[in-house]
Structure 1
Amino acid sequence: MEDKELNEYSARLNELRKDGVNLISALKQENAAAKRNKLLSADERAKLIAGNNAKIEQAKTVAEKNKAEIAEIVKKAVARNNELSKAEIAKVNAEQNDVIAKLKAEYAEKIVKIDEETLARKKEIVASYAGKTSQKDNEDCKEDLRVAEYEHNSALFDAKNKFTSAVDAAKAIKNQAYVDYVQKNRAFRNGQTNFKEDFTLSVQNYINKFKMSKFLLDNGLYLAILVFFIVCIILAPLSGSGNLLSLPNIFTILEQSSVRMFYALGVAGLILLAGTDLSVGRMVAMGAVVTGLFLHPGQNIVTVFGLGPWDFTTCSMVLRLALALFLSIFLCVAFSAFAGVFSAKLKIHPFISTLATQLIIYGLLFFGTSGTPVGSIDAGIKDLIGGRWILGQLGGELITFPKLIIPAIIAIIVAWFIWNKTTFGKNMYAVGGNAEAASVSGISVFWVTMGVFIMAGIFYGCGAFLEAFKANASAGTGQGYELDAIAACVVGGISFNGGIGKIGGAVIGVIIFTSLTYCLTFLGIDTNLQFVFKGLIIIAAVALDSVKYLKRK
């Protein structure tokens, strides 16, 4: 879409920005390149940057001088482009809608024609074998009919592919008309975006690329779970259990999710590498026992490998907390790294290396403590970290906020930052997607794998430390937690095939599984039946992931 007035605005803006904002941007990029250029000596680099900085100051003066005129021209240019583009977009949409309607009509006619031709051919085949009763003739007739049916299905498949491709092309043209409009406005604003335009563009992209089959494949499980929760919400008051959506219930679900969030965040990295971790539950027990030993009020009631019992109350509470957290993390990292070495160096699947680690920890814990619970922790510190803040009354009900939600939120933010904003996070996706290709591109698969195992150990250690604030820790604490953590990640969309998934998926998965258990318990469903629901969700999640993987291949 060419317009003389828009071209004049564009030319004038380029002239005004040339020695101002555009020059500033170019000089800053030149400075950044000079800092990275190892061929330049320190004096050459300093001289070049100093000269550019002087030019930048001059350019800032020009930019400030032209600022008002640029703003006025931008306003006029955007208004003019909006006016012209509105009509152009409407025209393109109308044209392509007519094209799509025509394609649909032609596709329907093509289907009818293919069906008629196949039916006629089948009649001819049957007629050609009329009166022939030998076994060979019967088999030949059936074979010819199978061939005709196969060719019929192939023709339908080809017709559908051509129709879909043509419709997608028409939708792409509609989408491109809006993209061109947005890009022109961005050019007038010198690259600055506009929320309304960006939001509308996202909606346009989604509508034009939307396919029901892909939507159901990606979100079918979540829709089924949503229906399940809606049914539970409706049934709860009818069964006399009360309001499931009350604020205290929601806070309780989030509190129960908080500590388990650490385990899911840890195992998510290993699943991203197409692995898994069966040692999570034992790690939790180990860290929780250590924490319980340090924070027990008075002399401990258990010995470890015949040593003790100890009394740490003579130490300050800050020191006891620091030692408990440090040792919980240290031990979990040590055992996680132990499993990681075998997987990273000897290419042993994490299923085996973490299974072995699980058995080692399990044996050491039971042998060392005889399976005796370490007892409760100091009530004051338990309330300080694992208690609740009183928010007030709502509808005659006391509302309290669980403190464990805070460390869980911090852990989610840290994990999200590592996965999305660091080189290590990008390398995780690369190794998980294709380890050989990642190695060829210069990524150390060994150290990335070890880094993921160590990161998992840190999350397990923090979670195990907080686990001790929930119940009396023993060697049996955390039984089955690894399965819940793995299931949460898979339900959250982190693929067992590697290289696919987001931290947000693991978070959602944990909340879904915790909510599922809470809802069933709230409705009085037998605990044993709850495993059935969990099993169905897990197999459905893995099945959908496998289907998506096969489609990608």
Structure 2
Amino acid sequence: MSKAKVMEWVQKYTMILALILVVAFFAVQTGGKILYPQNITNLIAQNGYVFILSVGMLFCILTGGNIDLAVGSVVCFVGAVGATLMVGGMNVVLAVIVMLLIGTVIGAWQGFWIAYVRIPAFIVTLAGMLVFRGLSNVVLGGMTLSINKFETFIMVFGGGASCYFPDLIGGGPTVLVNGSEVVLNMFSIVVGIVLIVGYLGFAACSYISNSKKGYANAPIAAVAGKAIIVVGVIGYFFWKFAQYKGVPTVLAWIGAIVVIYTFISSKTTLGRHFYAVGGNEKATKLSGINTDRIYFIGYTNMGLLCALAGMLTIARMVSAQPTYGDGYELDAIGACYIGGASAYGGVGTVPGVIIGALLMGVINLGMSIMGVDANYQKVVKGLVLLAAVVFDVVSKRKKA
């Protein structure tokens, strides 16, 4: 393989290599504790909101580097309203529908000013951040509201002791984990195998279909290497889940969002329009595409995902508080840029964003296990974000 090919490969998979190095670093520094089954599960459960919000944030960034500063406040407001309605006696299913509608309406309201009045997204969402944080305090009266009696809601959206899928198979063998005997959760093993087989089947079908249609395929070595990495990651995570309490329920929501939005971004006309607007909005508009509509859809969708993140948050915490969602927007933005989204728009993928969110989660978890002061954790996260954006800008200059 030529030097140019090697450099291209390294640049394409920089974040994956960085993730591997960061995991290895913290594995050494924590004496392997970061790889304990409980910590692997916590990595997913505690960062569920980051995965969800970063996918929505990606579509905002694709339109030209625009961001949504209001997501943390909207998460808090939607959670506050939902908790208040449920505690007030509203049916849980109806409360969930109301929360989703509120989030969508908020996203549409912000999208209207951004798309059709052309007020900068930074200003609109900054105003939204202040408005909905204030309304959250009004709804909750500045107090914490407990929802621990709503077991169905908590179980479905992931919180407390019931945030894992039950072992529907049972009867697993006993293995030694960190010096203790543990019965393997066979449901986790089966789900992992199903996902691996499904991925391999999809990858094979895509390769064959592209060949038949005459489309260019990546070299077979690259395809095989990618498959090995994906299969290894899936197998590793579900093996760790099996050694703890099983598959976290929040993973189902994350998986659904990743699959749906990966399909939208890569296989639909609407997805291509987002990339086109970010690449060159004027040319896109002249080609007959309604660019205002793309902006509006992007921010409306962000509001919908904020509602889902709000439900995940109050379910995990089993309460609603005026401080929930604080800093969520920064985590989502950071995950996007670290995951390869361009600061100028038009570049970025859902899988890349998920890798960025994982990297952020590993850094948070690793430093927490090491006992690093919270203030220094913010310093590290800020430097990692700056490094990701610098890398994006410098690499674009070299290509130019």
Asked if these proteins are the same fold (TM beyond 0.5), I'd say yes
The residue aligned with 1:261 is 51
Partner amino acid, structure 2, of 1:517: N
Q: 2:390 aligns with which of 543, 549, 552?
A: 543
The reply to whether residue 228 of structure 1 matches residue 75 of structure 2 is no
Deviations 1:189-245 (CA, angstroms, capped at 9, x unpaired) = xxxxxxxxxxxxxxxxxx3573455555555565445333212112222xxxx5321
The residue aligned with 1:417 is 263
Partner amino acid, structure 2, of 1:339: Q
TM-superposed CA distance for 1:259, in Å, is: 2.9
The reply to whether residue 388 of structure 1 matches residue 155 of structure 2 is no
Contact 1:295/1:378 (<8 A) preserved: no
Larger-Rg structure: 1
Whole-angstrom CA distance in 1 between matches of 2:266 and 2:16 = 24
Contact 2:80/2:139 (<8 A) preserved: no
For residues 310-325 of structure 1, the aligned pairs below 5 Å read 311-312=88-89, 320-325=91-96
The residue aligned with 2:86 is 295
The runs of at least 4 consecutive aligned structure 1 residues that moved more than 6 Å come to: none
Q: Give the secondary-structure state (helix, strand or coil) at the position aligned to 2:145.
A: coil
CA separation of 1:533 and 1:394: change in aligned 2, threshold 3 A = farther
Contact 1:373/1:475 (<8 A) preserved: yes
Whole-angstrom CA distance in 2 between matches of 1:449 and 1:341 = 9
* Higher relative contact order, chain-length normalized (CA < 8 Å, sep 6+): 2
The residue aligned with 1:347 is 118
Contact 2:157/2:316 (<8 A) preserved: no
Deviations 1:337-378 (CA, angstroms, capped at 9, x unpaired) = 222122212332211111111111122222343221222332
Contact 2:81/2:139 (<8 A) preserved: no
For residues 123-522 of structure 1, the aligned pairs below 5 Å read 207-208=1-2, 210-211=4-5, 213-215=7-9, 217-220=11-14, 222-237=16-31, 243-274=33-64, 275-296=66-87, 311-312=88-89, 320-381=91-152, 382-386=154-158, 387-389=163-165, 394-395=175-176, 396-397=181-182, 399-401=244-246, 402-471=248-317, 472-522=319-369
Whole-angstrom CA distance in 2 between matches of 1:444 and 1:537 = 36
Deviations 1:41-71 (CA, angstroms, capped at 9, x unpaired) = xxxxxxxxxxxxxxxxxxxxxxxxxxxxxxx
Whole-angstrom CA distance in 2 between matches of 1:385 and 1:480 = 21
Contact 2:84/2:145 (<8 A) preserved: yes
Partner amino acid, structure 1, of 2:316: K
Deviations 1:310-356 (CA, angstroms, capped at 9, x unpaired) = x31xx6xxxx2322222222222222222212221233221111111
Q: State how many pairs are aligned.
A: 323
CA separation of 1:224 and 1:266: change in aligned 2, threshold 3 A = closer
Q: Give the secondary-structure state (helix, strand or coil) at the position aligned to 1:499.
A: coil
Whole-angstrom CA distance in 2 between matches of 1:230 and 1:352 = 41
Deviations 1:282-330 (CA, angstroms, capped at 9, x unpaired) = 011011112212333xxxxxxxxxxxxxx31xx6xxxx23222222222
Whole-angstrom CA distance in 2 between matches of 1:437 and 1:374 = 50
Contact 1:286/1:328 (<8 A) preserved: no
TM-superposed CA distance for 1:442, in Å, is: 0.6
Whole-angstrom CA distance in 2 between matches of 1:542 and 1:505 = 14
Q: Give the secondary-structure state (helix, strand or coil) at the position aligned to 1:244.
A: helix
Whole-angstrom CA distance in 2 between matches of 1:458 and 1:491 = 23
Contact 1:291/1:324 (<8 A) preserved: yes
Q: Give the secondary-structure state (helix, strand or coil) at the position aligned to 2:35.
A: coil
**Over aligned residues, Cα RMSD in angstroms?**
2.1
Deviations 1:20-58 (CA, angstroms, capped at 9, x unpaired) = xxxxxxxxxxxxxxxxxxxxxxxxxxxxxxxxxxxxxxx
* Identity value in percent: 27
The residue aligned with 1:102 is none
Question: Mind listing any 5+ residue stretches in structure 1 that lack a counterpart?
Answer: 1-206, 297-310
Q: Give the secondary-structure state (helix, strand or coil) at the position aligned to 2:341.
A: coil
Partner amino acid, structure 2, of 1:465: M
Partner amino acid, structure 1, of 2:55: L
Whole-angstrom CA distance in 2 between matches of 1:287 and 1:377 = 17
Contact 1:282/1:358 (<8 A) preserved: yes
Contact 2:62/2:348 (<8 A) preserved: yes
The residue aligned with 1:16 is none
Partner amino acid, structure 2, of 1:287: V
Partner amino acid, structure 2, of 1:380: E
Q: Give the secondary-structure state (helix, strand or coil) at the position aligned to 2:148.
A: coil
Contact 2:77/2:135 (<8 A) preserved: no
The reply to whether residue 534 of structure 1 matches residue 381 of structure 2 is yes
The residue aligned with 2:231 is none
CA separation of 1:210 and 1:429: change in aligned 2, threshold 3 A = same
How high is the TM-score relative to the length of structure 2?
A: 0.75
Contact 2:108/2:299 (<8 A) preserved: yes
Contact 1:272/1:432 (<8 A) preserved: yes
Whole-angstrom CA distance in 2 between matches of 1:411 and 1:228 = 26
Q: Give the secondary-structure state (helix, strand or coil) at the position aligned to 2:320.
A: coil
Contact 1:433/1:498 (<8 A) preserved: yes
How high is the TM-score relative to the length of structure 1?
A: 0.55
Partner amino acid, structure 1, of 2:265: W
Whole-angstrom CA distance in 2 between matches of 1:478 and 1:409 = 22
Whole-angstrom CA distance in 1 between matches of 2:105 and 2:155 = 30
Whole-angstrom CA distance in 1 between matches of 2:3 and 2:346 = 24
TM-superposed CA distance for 1:456, in Å, is: 1.3
Question: Mind listing any 5+ residue stretches in structure 2 that lack a counterpart?
Answer: 183-242
